[in-house]
Amino acid sequence: MLEHVPAWLGKALSGARAGTEKLAAGRPDLGADLASVTLSSTAFANGARLPERFTADGEGDSPPLLWRDPPAGTDRLVLLVEDADAPTPQPLVHAVVWGLPAEAGSLAEGAIIDDGTAGIRIGHNSFGRRGWLPPDPPTGHGQHRYVFQLFAIGPGADDPGEDPGRSAVLDAITGHVLGIGVLVGTYSRGEEAPVGPVGATSPA
């Protein structure tokens, strides 16, 4: 959709960005002194460019994710993916996943789809659809940071409902977050953008 925004308009909006301070992981009410969860991908390194196949310019599949070291007492994991550089008042939500087993250690490529996978609840993105919203930044707007945020949740969290969005999930986990892992992938259109080390794993 945003690929149709004229390049001149994308450049004009280059200063309009949601900002990292509005990301879910930055909310102070989630808790202080949270443990660190190691989150990485075999498809891109932390801070590197997302391969095209995970974006609206390619197949649009969700990337594979790996995690380790969830803190003791973790009951489940919750994944939120947000675009910190969207030209909107709040970050654009690209994925909501509720109920990932802590012991699973990974999420396969293309797994963030609304297919009724047992034990995992796929919520709706900013376009109101369940599943992965492929990165689709406006041409000329510059580099966008897609922030994968993995929350380790202790017991007692509320149920966010059958089709959870960002707000419902954050309301449900507030007060129950034990740790957070963060992984950043970037993407842009209309500028030089060397591909990062595809296949590399972000450092621990």
CATH number for position 43: 3.90.280.10
Is pTM beyond 0.75 here?
A: yes
* Average of per-residue pLDDT across 19-24: 88
Distance, in Å, from the CA atom of 163 to the CA atom of 160, rounded to the nearest integer, reads 8
Residue 93 within a domain:
yes
Residue 137 within a domain:
yes
Parent domain of 163: 2-187
Look at the chain and report how many structural domains it folds into: 1
Whether 9 shows a pLDDT value over 50: the answer reads no
pLDDT, tens digit, 9 for 90 and up, residues 64-108? 999 999 999 999 999 999 999 998 889 999 999 998 998 889 999
Residue pair 203/57 in contact by the 8 Å Cβ criterion: no
pLDDT of residue 140: 83
Residue 193 within a domain:
no
Residue 165 within a domain:
yes
Whether 46 shows a pLDDT value over 60: the answer reads yes
pLDDT of residue 189: 86
Residue 86 within a domain:
yes
Residue 95 within a domain:
yes
* Closest to 83 (Cα-Cα) out of 138, 28, 43, 8: 138
At residue 166's C-alpha, the angle toward residues 55 and 95, to 5°, is 20
Residues 6+ apart with CB under 8 A from 171: 158, 160
Residue 203 within a domain:
no
Residue with the bigger pLDDT between 199 and 41: it is: 41
* Average of per-residue pLDDT across 56-62: 95
* Closest to 203 (Cα-Cα) out of 22, 6, 38: 38
Q: What is the CA radius of gyration of the chain?
A: 16
Residue 201 within a domain:
no
